[in-house]
Chains A and B, each alone.
Chain A
Amino acid sequence: MSAARGALLSALLFTACSHAAAPSPGTPAVASSANEWRVATQGDVSSLSIAEQTVSYCDEAGFHQLEAHTGRVLPAGGACPELPSAGSTAGVTVRTPELGPDDVIEFDGEGMSFPIEGHARDWASDAGKVVIVGTASEVLEILPSAGKQLRLSGRGASRVAVGGGWAAWWDGAAVIARRL
């Protein structure tokens, strides 16, 4: 069975049992498209990062890792280690003009600002080339040099990470990894 078919089967199983626990180590995460994986979480996610195409996160069940290019949940478990940075926030400034309802994202060396709707909850930058921003109602990908702003999700996220061509976020119920 191809990886795509395996992922599709997992997705169907997940749909049939929407309260399923996080996939066991060694099994594929649920794919919602060819370039996106979704892993159910338990309780709050306290940290989220991407390094070498591996998404690492900690929830109330402990430490977890997801291999982004295969969608495979790696054997991990146990106590949560000190995770590498979710993507630096250095070089990114988020401000709330006049303490209003919306934020503005700015980047060192870029003369353009990127107004967003609502307040940013979390943000992560991959060397300033791409920045992921989570708000209460969406997840955005900002490409400062191209002056572009894309919507990755219509659901909010309070944890985001970026690196190695992948973005990841936690929407309150699952960690989602998306190829950029």
Chain B
Amino acid sequence: MAHFVNSKGTRISNAIIKGGIDQPMTIGVYGAAGLSVGPNDSSIATMTSQGADQHQVTWYKLTGKRIANVMVEAKMGASVWDYFQLVVGEPSYYGPDVAWAKKPANRDGRYTENANEVVTKNTKPAPADVITLLLGSWSALTETGARVLTAQFMHETGEGVHCYNWNLGNVKCAEHETSVPHMYLRDVWERLSLAGALQMVKSSNGLGYLATEEECKKHGWTHTGGKVIAVFEPPSYVCRFKAYASLAEGAQKWMDHHRSVAKKFPDEYVPTLNSGDCTGAAHILKRALYYSGDEGVYAHNMTEMKAKIDRQLGPAKS
């Protein structure tokens, strides 16, 4: 039996759904073939088909035009098979449903047809591989030094859990930069003034929204000073990051930058790394503005990671 569903696929037959003026929302109809679907008053809302998916759900973009209530029906002739009530009010930009153009990845795992887009895959580097890479390309490092730097990397990427397509440190693409291998990450968030966030969300073509307090708590998104959290979803350019083919390729920029830090602090950085001093290394990286978080926390986390690597690999040979 045909029935209406929301963007998450949950049945909304007979329900009351809230929408905003000029704010499209995604609505689906299961088994819509042969039915006419739309609001019973087109001056209150309009509906355009977005095509069917492989689960027999036809998707529509439903947009409120003025403040009023309207019945949205799926009919065959005069017979109404399913309906829900749309309450059109002032637009709100809070909550993920506002991002009406947000969609799961295509069947091939990508979000666009761009030939340079790569499917987003978790690529968890093994500490031993990172250490081997460092020792093979940076002769000044001892094995202990390489382990300290690997601990820094492991801390930055949550032990590699948040490392995708060998992109160490989440290197970004510029807005128009689509000619390089890239991928999309979900839930990219930013703290903005309300005016700035609204402007970004309105110009995101349905790929952005303002986070509710509940979502902020759930994700640990903190905001103070009157700022709000704007969230963007693929394929928004805000979510576009570079993709690398291998650990060696992805680690190049990261290693080059640490070599530059060593040049900036010639008498301190490499000796500190090679002595196994995670606290000292965290202090130099703080002076190099590498991170903006708390130095004590950073040093503690690096020290823990280093101890974990040492337990895993045994004593360092140099």
B-binding residues in A (CB < 8 A): 47, 89, 93-104, 106, 108-115, 117-123, 136-137, 156, 158-159, 172
Are B190 and A119 in touch, CB under 8 angstroms? yes
Q: Distance in Å from the Cβ of A49 to the closest Cβ of chain B?
A: 11
Closest to B197 in A: A136
Q: Does B185 contact A (CB under 8 A)?
A: yes
Q: Does B176 contact A (CB under 8 A)?
A: yes
Residue pair A111, B261 in contact (C-beta under 8 Å) = yes
A17 nearest CB across to chain B (Å): 23
Residues of A within 8 A of B162 (CB): 98-99
* B293, chain A: closest CB distance, angstroms: 8
Chain B's closest residue to A100 (CB) is B189
Interface residues of B in 85-144 (CB under 8 A from A): none
Instruction: Report yes or no: A111 in contact with B262, Cβ–Cβ below 8 A.
Output: yes
- Is B175's beta carbon under 8 Å from chain A? yes
- B170 with A120: CB separation less than 8 A: no
Query: In the bound complex, do residue A96 and residue B260 qualify as a contact, i.e. CB atoms below 8 Å apart?
Result: no
Task: Determine if B196 is an interface residue (Cβ-Cβ < 8 Å).
Answer: yes
Q: Does B78 contact A (CB under 8 A)?
A: no
- Tell me whether A119 and B188 are in contact (CB under 8 A): yes
- Is A113 a contact of B172 with CB atoms below 8 Å? no
| 0/1 interface trace, chain B 255-272, chain A, CB 8 Å (1 if under) | 011001111110000000
Residue of B nearest to A137 (CB): B196
Q: Pick the interface stretch among B9-17, B57-65, B69-77, B283-291.
A: B283-291
- The residues of A that contact B191 with a CB separation of less than 8 Å are 101-102, 117-118
Q: CA–CA, A6 to B127, complex, Å?
A: 65
> A109–B260 contact, CB under 8 A?
yes
Q: Does B44 contact A (CB under 8 A)?
A: no
List, sorted by A's number, 7 A–B pairs whose CB atoms are closer than 8 Å.
A94-B172, A96-B170, A97-B291, A99-B170, A111-B263, A136-B200, A158-B175
- The answer, among A111, A112, A136, for a CB contact under 8 Å with B192, is A136
B269 smallest CB distance to A (angstroms): 8
Contact of A120 with B172 at beta-carbon distance under 8 Å, contacts A98-B158, A108-B256, A111-B262 already known: yes
B193 at the interface (CB under 8 A from A): yes
B176 engages A118 (CB within 8 Å): no
- Where the two chains meet, the residues of B that have a C-beta atom closer than 8 Å to any C-beta of A are 156, 158, 162, 169-172, 174-177, 185, 187-193, 196-197, 199-200, 203, 221, 229-230, 237-238, 241, 253, 256-257, 260-265, 288-292
CB distance from B207 to the nearest CB of A (A): 14
Contact partner of A113 (CB less than 8 A), chosen from B176, B200, B289, is B289
Across the interface, name the chain B residue whose C-beta is closest to A118. B190
Count A/B pairs, Cβ under 8 Å: 106
Q: What's the Cα separation between A101 and B232 when bound, in Å?
A: 11
A156-B156 in contact (CB<8A): no
Task: Please give me the residue from chain B that is nearest to A110 by CB atom.
Answer: B260
Contact A114 B170, beta carbon cutoff 8 Å = no
Contact between A118 and B263, CB atoms less than 8 A apart: no
A108 to B206, alpha carbons, bound, how many Å? 36
Report the nearest B residue to A99, measured CB to CB: B170
Cβ–Cβ contact A137 & B253, under 8 A: no
Instruction: Using known A-B contacts A106-B257, A113-B288, A113-B290, determine if residue A98 contacts B196 with beta carbons closer than 8 Å.
Output: no
**Complex formed: what's the CA distance from A99 to B170 in Å?**
7
Bound CA–CA A113/B256 (angstroms): 13
Specify which chain B residues have a CB less than 8 angstroms from the CB of A117 in the assembled complex: 191
In the complex, given contacts A98-B158, A112-B288, what are 18 additional A-B residue pairs having Cβ atoms less than 8 angstroms apart? A47-B176, A96-B241, A98-B170, A99-B170, A100-B189, A101-B191, A101-B221, A104-B290, A104-B292, A108-B256, A111-B261, A113-B288, A115-B292, A120-B174, A122-B175, A122-B176, A156-B199, A159-B175
Query: In the complex, which of the residues B171, B172, B193 has the most CB atoms of chain A within 10 Å of its own CB atom?
Result: B172
Q: List, in ascending order, chain A residues with CB within 8 A of B171's CB.
A: 93-95
The answer to whether B190 and A112 have CB atoms under 8 Å apart is: no
On whether A89 and B177 interact (CB within 8 A), knowing A95-B170, A99-B188, the answer reads: yes
Contacts of B241 in A (CB 8 A): 96
Query: In the bound complex, how far is the Cα of B185 from the Cα of A119, in angstroms?
Result: 14
Task: Kindly identify which residue among B200, B257, B291 contacts A93, using a CB–CB cutoff of 8 Å.
Answer: B257
Residues of A within 8 A of B169 (CB): 95, 97
Chain A residues whose C-beta falls within 8 Å of the C-beta of B238 in the assembled complex: 119, 121
Chain B residues near A111 (CB-CB < 8 A): 257, 260-265, 288
Complex CA–CA separation, A47 to B260 (angstroms)? 33
A137 to B238, CA, bound (A): 14
